[in-house]
Amino acid sequence: MPIPGPHVHRQLISAYEQAAARLESLRAQLSQVAAQRERLEDDRSDTLTKLAKYYLPDLTPESIQQTWAEIRPTMREILLRKEHRVHELDEELKDQNTIRNGQEADLDRLNERLDQAEQRQTEVADQVEKYLQEKSEFVDLSQRASMAEVALERAEANLDEVSQDAARKLPAYDEDKLFSYLKERKFGTSEYKHRGLNRSMDRWIGKLVNYREAKRSYDYLTNTPETMRKIIAEDRLALDTVLDELQRHRNEASDRFGLLAQIRAVEALQDERKSALTQLSATGQKCESIQAELNEFEDPQCDYYQEAISVFRGMLSRTESDQLRQEARRTPEITDDQIVASLRGVESEMDRTELAASRQQDQLQMGQQVHEAIGRLVQRFRASGFDRANSQFSDSLDVTGYLDRANSPADVDDVWQSIRRSQNWGPTTMDRITKVATHPMTQVMINAMAHAAAGALSEHARRAGGRTRSRRRW
């Protein structure tokens, strides 16, 4: 059984929310890594403090405590500013998600209203068509338009044939020097004035090239296409007169049943839907922007972290690891060697933590890209009208499974291709109306004309009604 468009639409929204949940999970994992990094930094700081005490026995504890007191408040202030900004973004993201959820609900309700309005338009259009089909004047006019269309199509085909024949044959006449010579001298017409030997020579040449018959053929090829165009133009004007009368009947019927008002109501809802989609897209982009900024704070290279590292490294720049190890080797005691070895162990563990954080950061970045790609997929799905009630998909389409397995934006793009291949439009009453027309008012008249003309003339009536597209909006 085909899967309805609104159902697939809900699956896409669910996949979008699940991708956001995965981002939250990845950020939580990175927060754990950050906590571990902070613990290692504290361990390193403690180790350096022990080493400083060992190498500086003449410094009082008050002096060392004073040194750390100058550094830690600065770092705490930086971290507090970062935490405050993260809190602000978390609150803003919650607000935007609430707005987005409300817009999603509004769009669903708007879709229902639009579906109902279109169904009502279809019902009114059917009433107008039935009324016109039962009106004897409209039936007579439709048959006249159909027969005029048949004659016009035949005349246009004949004109094409004659024009092609003239284009193919006339150059031979123009290239015949003897024929051109007699034609320029007006031979065989009342305008020919030559006498005596010249007249005799021209007659001899005329018999030689069979001029009279050739001239009749030349005149036919030259004049007939233009004559036919004038006749066709007159026939088109006559058909336009019939079509104008048909449109008058159509408009009267439309006013009687309120079709144009219903069409305008549908158009207004379609415009409202476009505006709703624009607002929903803007809200989605704002959510993604906030999430991207939150992701940046989980990156060790973010501005707040760099500021803190700068302060901390400034304090440690006086005691490089290699220098500390060399100093430890010069002393006979092993205490400082043990402290330096412990420091190197902490730094090795920090390197491993940084490597794990880098891998998780890559996963977070890719997860953000996939989340944004799903958001774009939802927008494309809506922009194509696939979320509407008359949109259907093959029951083999597994959107949830496809997106669960999507590991990159390219995978999400492949899902869009699968959606497009699986999509088709369900049958509606308006599908029976010819696709030549571009406006519901024109569609109604053409469909009514086709039914009124009936039989072999039905298709000609459709094509005749279709000519109104080049003459007016509907």
Instruction: Give me the mean pLDDT over the 264-288 stretch.
Output: 93
pLDDT confidence of residue 224: 85
Model confidence at 432, pLDDT cuts 50, 70, 90, reads very low
- Output the pLDDT for position 193: 79
Q: pLDDT tens across 85-95, in order? A: 889 999 999 99
Categorize the per-residue pLDDT at 191 as very low, low, confident or very high, splitting at 50, 70 and 90.
Answer: confident
As a whole number, mean pLDDT of residues 44-59 equals 51
Which residues does 397 contact at the CB level (< 8 Å), separation at least 6? Answer: 3, 8, 418, 419, 422
Confidence bin at 396 (pLDDT 50/70/90) = confident
Greater confidence, 383 or 203?
383
Write the secondary structure of the chain as one string of H (helix), E (strand) and C (coil).
CCEEHHHHHHHHHHHHHHHHHHHHHHHHHHHHHHHHHHHHHHHHHHHHHHHHHHHCCCCCHHHHHHHHHHHHHHHHHHHHHHHHHHHHHHHHHHHHHHHHHHHHHHHHHHHHHHHHHHHHHHHHHHHHHHHHHCCHHHHHHHHHHHHHHHHHHHHHHHHHHHHHHHHHHHHHHHHCHHHHHHHHCCCCCCCCCCCHHHHHHHHHHHHHHCHHHHHHHHHHHHHHHHHHHHHHHHHHHHHHHHHHHHHHHHHHHHHHHCHHHHHHHHHHHHHHHHHHHHHHHHHHHHHHHHHHHHHHHHCCCCHHHHHHHHHHHHHHCCCCHHHHHHHHHHCCCCHHHHHHHHHHHHHHHHHHHHHHHHHHHHHHHHHHHHHHHHHHHHHHHHHCCCCCCCEEECCCCCHHHHHHCCCCHHHHHHHHHHHHHHEEECCCHHHHCCCCCCCHHHHHHHHHHHHHHCHHHHHHHHHHHHHHHHCCCC
Predicted pLDDT of residue 415: 85
pLDDT at 114: 94
Whether the per-residue pLDDT at 434 is higher than 50: the answer is: no
| Residue 89 neighbours by CB under 8 Å, 6+ apart | 290, 293, 294
pLDDT of the residue at 64: 31
Q: What is the pLDDT of residue 276?
A: 94
Does residue 209 register a pLDDT over 50?
Answer: yes
Quick: pLDDT tens for 218-244.
Answer: 878 888 888 888 988 988 888 888 899
Tell me: pLDDT of 303 over 80: no
Write out pLDDT tens, residues 331-343.
777 775 776 677 7
The share of the chain scoring above pLDDT 70, in percent, equals 78
Q: Give me Rg for the CA atoms of the chain.
A: 43
Which is more confidently placed, 106 or 457?
Answer: 106
Least confident of 59-73, 180-194, 310-324: 59-73
Mean pLDDT of the chain: 78
**pLDDT > 90 fraction of the chain, expressed in percent and rounded:** 19
Q: What is the pTM of this model?
A: 0.56
Distance CA 398, CA 454 (A): 45
- Structure confidence at residue 399 as a pLDDT band (50, 70, 90): confident
Mean per-residue pLDDT for 422-436? Answer: 58
Give the model confidence (pLDDT) of 6-45 as tens digits. Answer: 998 998 888 888 888 888 888 887 787 777 777 877 776 6
